[in-house]
A and B are shown apart, each in its own frame.
Chain A
Amino acid sequence: MTTWKQKLEGKIAAQDAQEIDIFEGQLALRKQDKLDEKVFAETRLRRGVYGQRYDNGQRDDGVQIQKLEYPSGTLTKGPETLWDAPGMMRIKVPYGGLNVEQLEVLAELADEYSDGILHVTTRQDFQLHYVHIEDTPDLMRRLAAVGLTTKEACGNSVRNITACPLAGVCHDESFDVAPYAEALFRFLLGHDDTQDFGRKFKVAFSGCEEHACGLVKMHDLGFLARVKEGVRGFTVFVGGGLGTIPYQAQVLKDFATEEEILPLAQAVARVFARLGEKRNRNRARIKFLVESVGIEEFRRLVQEELKALPHDERWTGYLVDVPNFQNAPQKAAFPLNGKPLPEGFEKWYQTNVYPQRQEGYSVVTINLPLGDLTSDQMFALADIARAYVGDNIRTTVEQNIVLRWVANGDLPSVYSALAEVGLGAAEAGTIIDITSCPGTDTCKLGIASSRGLARELRSRLAAQNASLPEAVKDLHIKVSGCFNSCGQHHIADIGFFGNSRRAGNHKVPHFQLVLGGQWEENAGSFGLAVGAVPAKRVPEVLEAITHRYAQERQRGETFQAWIKRLGKLEIKALLDPYISVPAFEEDASFYSDWGDSRVFSISDIGVGECAGEVVSLFSMEIAKAESRHFEALVALDENDYVEADQAAYQSMLLAARALVRSRNYDVGQDPDRIVEEFRKHFYDTELFFDKYAKGKFAQYLFSRHAEPPQEFTHATAYRQVEEARLFIEACHDCESRLSGTVISL
């Protein structure tokens, strides 16, 4: 029977195909319990394969803790993460850029591997939920065939690089940042210098300073486009981040030219990898490193790294493609022609249409409820895009999708087509367009139901929409399920994050109210937590706050300014009537969360995979060697002696490289170099020698490297595979001796 691997042969870039094969091999090894669960967990996270709530095999069903007994028993895909438990797959969409073909494949994957729903995240990614681990290699292949990747979407890696969805069409931008975001994405993806982080690393690009768009000031590394004396460049920010305590990024370099940004990013990565905290996960983001050493010292460290960096052609090689970066209409512009407009168009036009800088065109925002759409809607969207805009499609950090380069004359038709498939909701970017993380729906760290609350607020606000004052309509609401801020509540006018309070013998879901965050000025400042209210009272609290703001605001006064003027005491007084919780017997509804009939509990909170253990660079590297060796075994079984020999040899190179990188971080991929460095650092020094075998196993690598076989038979291939096995084992032993620890696999 044909497999997806066979069907897509030749359609996936060779390196991507090989990496997916390696992952599939690692999956097989893990299934046989031949790969450490922590190593496998980090491996799969770096391929965008996440755990979900209840994957520890238990669930509070509202009456008792129920064991979830999967067929695979106690087999795990990570610490406390059962093999068969449904997981999440995160798909990277650099700067949010998509084409029509990609939309269609995403729709297919939602049908076949998930629950038929696609979810846009607050970092412009897509997520599919309830995915089985054994489906993930084919998912990756089908994505790779259309140029999408899940690589490093999760884990201690460079996450998706975000950028303004209006890049290239914005009135206020210095220039289109999308080609730079794309270049940096390609450069950093899988880069050696980004493999040894203690935590995740988030990067953003913005075309202008005053609007929200790129949110560079809340990122680990941010690039704000500027033109100085006719030269394109960026103000580079470092050390921002939300999380439990938000940090504003600081200026690393006032002006870096387009030639400088890639090596600069690489240097920052090296400093982070070298000096970032790795034991205490709660202090491992780069913001803590910058704070600890100070920005001046951090700049000096980065400069030092820059000087030591081996030259890389890619630093400037991408510039030749920048002028040709795809940003053009599919159709000629033509104006609205005065014909009758469809019902609902005018209201939709007010909020969902942004006239582009380019005369005659507009950007249309598709307001996705909680960032979700069905596969059917996605197919329809692909048809609409194909008809009107081609590949000019972007996701946004507000969990929406935009179509760019819509000819103004096409706006009514586009609206009608969207409305026909349930994608014509107005109020994009308004108070009704609430951003929310997945929360307790699927996240192991969720405390309260962020999506349940967001759904409820959205529904109520939509019902009140006609009567909402204009000043209130422009507010941003963001909801997180816990204090980790994946919903970005710190930069909302009105933010909420989930927590829990005790009332008698019960726990009650609450939300902490965070007021006065600044979305504008690239996440200019963060809101302050002002008090927790029961989840079921949040709608009343929202109404009280917005009503009072509408009544008291002075002409032109922003919500942020009003909050400051109101003061903490007054805010507390405003919340006081809403903080009490009735007894369970009086009103049990307070003791359940929004959209969940179970009695509320925090017993389902698990260990987040964002906060898993750091796995050593050697462990990650040697896991690749193990996978390649596994492929050698499979090839031998299938009597493919050429492949068995080749795979066995490559597994030895990978194992040698894993050791060498502890002595020469920049050894690269060249086999001659790897063997030379291995000889220099481990053979000539006798560090590789063990008590009995001495340097015998190293000779297996040297012999095979120096003299590839002339003929390939079962005997020669078998011997090569066995020698590779012994060499890899010797590498493990060597690392153990040198690090003073015992590693079990």
Chain B
Amino acid sequence: MKRFKVKLFVDGHIPFDLGELIPVFQRWIQRRSLRGLLIDVADYRHVPNGPSIILIGHEADYAFDLRGGQAGLAYTRKQPLEGELSDSLKTAFEQLIQAAHQLENEPSMNGIKFNLDTAEITFLDRLTAPNRPDVFEQLRPSVEAFTVGWYGGEKVQIESVEADPRKCLNIRLAHR
């Protein structure tokens, strides 16, 4: 699975103007604050329910994502990772969490918090992971293996939340 996205949701409202993300992401590029090659900042604030501001990377993008009407920080993996899918998810979430914590610590983000108990995984590959119930069931064991490690064996609800078969397979994790 080469391309997939993981997303954490904002806890509460967005306490800053989206434009404030631009200098933050630019500074992360200057200081190479995240793993991997960081390239540029793309501004899509003008697009409703879009990716708003994206930190473009080679291995992955980070976006303050407003899609689905729910704001959050999304990590889109673009280059393949070694190992099993559960390992890839773990790596992706580790990098997402690092970015989320960094963002939370930025003064201009005015105390934003991310909910770590709910997350979303989107498989951006209609060839190997089309949005079908049988595909979801095939992937479920790998996702479960990831959640067991990630949430320390605690109960996690895993459900496919995108009904439109044209769209990408989208899985919601809810840690109880």
Verify if A4 is at the interface (C-beta below 8 Å from B).
yes
Q: Are A116 and B51 in contact (CB under 8 A)?
A: yes
Stretch binding the partner chain, chosen from B84-92, B124-132, B136-144: B124-132
Verify if A458 is at the interface (C-beta below 8 Å from B).
yes
State which of A61, A62, A70, A112 has its C-beta within 8 Å of the C-beta of B125: A112
Q: Are A458 and B46 in contact (CB under 8 A)?
A: yes
Q: A84-B58, A132-B78 are in contact. Are A441 and B43 (CB under 8 A)?
A: yes
How far does the Cβ of A99 sit from chain B's closest Cβ, in whole Å? 15
Residue of B nearest to A67 (CB): B37
Stretch binding the partner chain, chosen from A242-250, A331-339, A592-600: A592-600
| CB neighbours of A107 from chain B (8 A) | 166
Q: Quick one: which of B22-36 are within 8 Å of A by CB?
A: 22-23, 26, 29-30
How far does the Cβ of B168 sit from chain A's closest Cβ, in whole Å? 6
Stretch binding the partner chain, chosen from A209-217, A263-271, A367-375, A657-665: A367-375
Residue of B nearest to A449 (CB): B43
Cα–Cα, bound, A459→B46 (Å): 9
Number of interface residues of B (CB under 8 A): 38
| CB neighbours of A455 from chain B (8 A) | 43, 45-46
Q: A70-B37, A112-B3, A115-B54 are in contact. Are A374 and B126 (CB under 8 A)?
A: no
State which of A2, A3, A4, A372 has its C-beta within 8 Å of the C-beta of B47: A372
How far does the Cβ of B4 sit from chain A's closest Cβ, in whole Å? 10
Cα–Cα, bound, A71→B36 (Å): 10
State which of B43, B44, B51, B78 has its C-beta within 8 Å of the C-beta of A452: B43
Q: A63-B30, A115-B61 are in contact. Are A4 and B127 (CB under 8 A)?
A: yes
Task: Please encode chain A, from 649 to 672, with 1 for each CB lying within 8 Å of some chain B CB and 0 for all others.
Answer: 000000000000000000000000
State which of A3, A374, A459 has its C-beta within 8 Å of the C-beta of B50: A374
Verify if B56 is at the interface (C-beta below 8 Å from A).
yes
State which of B40, B47, B68, B128 has its C-beta within 8 Å of the C-beta of A59: B40
| CB neighbours of B61 from chain A (8 A) | 115, 130
Q: Are B127 and A2 in contact (CB under 8 A)?
A: yes
Q: A116-B67, A372-B47 are in contact. Are A441 and B166 (CB under 8 A)?
A: no
| CB neighbours of A112 from chain B (8 A) | 3, 124-126, 168
Cα–Cα, bound, A458→B50 (Å): 18
Cα–Cα, bound, A4→B54 (Å): 28
Residue of A nearest to B128 (CB): A1
Q: Are A54 and B47 in contact (CB under 8 A)?
A: no
Q: Are A116 and B26 in contact (CB under 8 A)?
A: no
Give the most central of B46, B49, B78: most A CB within 10 Å: B46
Residue of B nearest to A105 (CB): B166
Verify if A69 is at the interface (C-beta below 8 Å from B).
yes
Q: Are B128 and A374 in contact (CB under 8 A)?
A: no
Verify if A328 is at the interface (C-beta below 8 Å from B).
no
Task: Please encode chain B, from 118 to 161, with 1 for each CB lying within 8 Å of some chain A CB and 0 for all others.
Answer: 00000011111000000000000000000000000000000000
| CB neighbours of A63 from chain B (8 A) | 30
| CB neighbours of B51 from chain A (8 A) | 115-117, 374
Residue of A nearest to B46 (CB): A369
Q: Quick one: which of A101-120 are within 8 Å of B by CB?
A: 104, 107-108, 111-112, 115-117
Residue of B nearest to A382 (CB): B166
| CB neighbours of A421 from chain B (8 A) | 48-49
State which of B3, B49, B56 has its C-beta within 8 Å of the C-beta of A130: B56
Verify if B14 is at the interface (C-beta below 8 Å from A).
no
State which of A70, A71, A108, A376 has its C-beta within 8 Å of the C-beta of B67: A376
Task: Please encode chain A, from 440 to 476, with 1 for each CB lying within 8 Å of some chain B CB and 0 for all others.
Answer: 0100000000011001001100000000000000000
Task: Please encode chain A, from 47 to 82, with 1 for each CB lying within 8 Å of some chain B CB and 0 for all others.
Answer: 000000110000101110010111100000000000
Q: Are A115 and B58 in contact (CB under 8 A)?
A: no
State which of A1, A61, A86 has its C-beta within 8 Å of the C-beta of B30: A61
Residue of B nearest to A113 (CB): B3
Cα–Cα, bound, A377→B58 (Å): 26
Verify if A318 is at the interface (C-beta below 8 Å from B).
no
How far does the Cβ of B57 sit from chain A's closest Cβ, in whole Å? 10
Verify if A379 is at the interface (C-beta below 8 Å from B).
yes
Cα–Cα, bound, A68→B67 (Å): 29
Verify if B163 is at the interface (C-beta below 8 Å from A).
no
Verify if A7 is at the interface (C-beta below 8 Å from B).
yes
Q: Are A111 and B40 in contact (CB under 8 A)?
A: no
Task: Please encode chain A, from 411 to 439, with 1 for each CB lying within 8 Å of some chain B CB and 0 for all others.
Answer: 00000000001100000000000000000
| CB neighbours of A373 from chain B (8 A) | 47
Cα–Cα, bound, A352→B134 (Å): 43
Task: Please encode chain A, from 273 to 289, with 1 for each CB lying within 8 Å of some chain B CB and 0 for all others.
Answer: 00000000000000000
Q: Are A374 and B39 in contact (CB under 8 A)?
A: no
State which of A59, A66, A104, A129 has its C-beta within 8 Å of the C-beta of B166: A104
State which of A115, A132, A379 has its C-beta within 8 Å of the C-beta of B167: A379
Q: Are B37 and A68 in contact (CB under 8 A)?
A: yes
Cα–Cα, bound, A369→B22 (Å): 19
Residue of A nearest to B20 (CB): A597
| CB neighbours of A132 from chain B (8 A) | 78
| CB neighbours of B26 from chain A (8 A) | 61-62, 596-598
Cα–Cα, bound, A171→B22 (Å): 46
How far does the Cβ of A681 sit from chain B's closest Cβ, in whole Å? 47
| CB neighbours of B168 from chain A (8 A) | 111-112
Cα–Cα, bound, A66→B67 (Å): 32
Give the most central of A53, A86, A116, A455: most B CB within 10 Å: A116
How far does the Cβ of B106 sit from chain A's closest Cβ, in whole Å? 13
Residue of A nearest to B44 (CB): A117
Q: Are A374 and B67 in contact (CB under 8 A)?
A: yes
Q: A62-B26, A63-B30, A116-B51 are in contact. Are A70 and B43 (CB under 8 A)?
A: no
| CB neighbours of A441 from chain B (8 A) | 42-43
Verify if B17 is at the interface (C-beta below 8 Å from A).
no
Q: A111-B168, A422-B48 are in contact. Are A54 and B127 (CB under 8 A)?
A: no
Q: Quick one: which of A584-603 are within 8 Å of B by CB?
A: 595-598
Q: Quick one: which of A359-393 are within 8 Å of B by CB?
A: 369-370, 372-374, 376-377, 379
Cα–Cα, bound, A525→B149 (Å): 67
How far does the Cβ of A66 sit from chain B's closest Cβ, in whole Å? 7
How far does the Cβ of B89 sit from chain A's closest Cβ, in whole Å? 18
Verify if B164 is at the interface (C-beta below 8 Å from A).
yes
Cα–Cα, bound, A111→B26 (Å): 24
Cα–Cα, bound, A563→B58 (Å): 48
Task: Please encode chain A, from 80 to 91, with 1 for each CB lying within 8 Å of some chain B CB and 0 for all others.
Answer: 000010100000
| CB neighbours of A53 from chain B (8 A) | 40
30 of the cross-chain contacts (CB-CB < 8 Å) are A2-B127, A4-B127, A53-B40, A54-B39, A59-B40, A61-B26, A61-B30, A62-B30, A68-B37, A86-B39, A111-B167, A112-B3, A115-B44, A115-B51, A115-B63, A116-B50, A116-B67, A117-B51, A370-B46, A372-B44, A372-B50, A374-B67, A376-B49, A376-B68, A377-B47, A379-B167, A441-B43, A595-B22, A595-B43, A597-B22
The 5 closest A-B pairs by CB, nearest first: A422-B48, A597-B23, A369-B46, A61-B30, A595-B43
20 new A-B contacts, CB < 8 A, other than A115-B63, A376-B49, are A54-B39, A59-B40, A61-B29, A68-B37, A86-B39, A107-B166, A108-B126, A112-B125, A117-B44, A372-B46, A372-B47, A374-B47, A376-B68, A376-B167, A379-B167, A422-B48, A422-B49, A455-B46, A458-B46, A596-B41
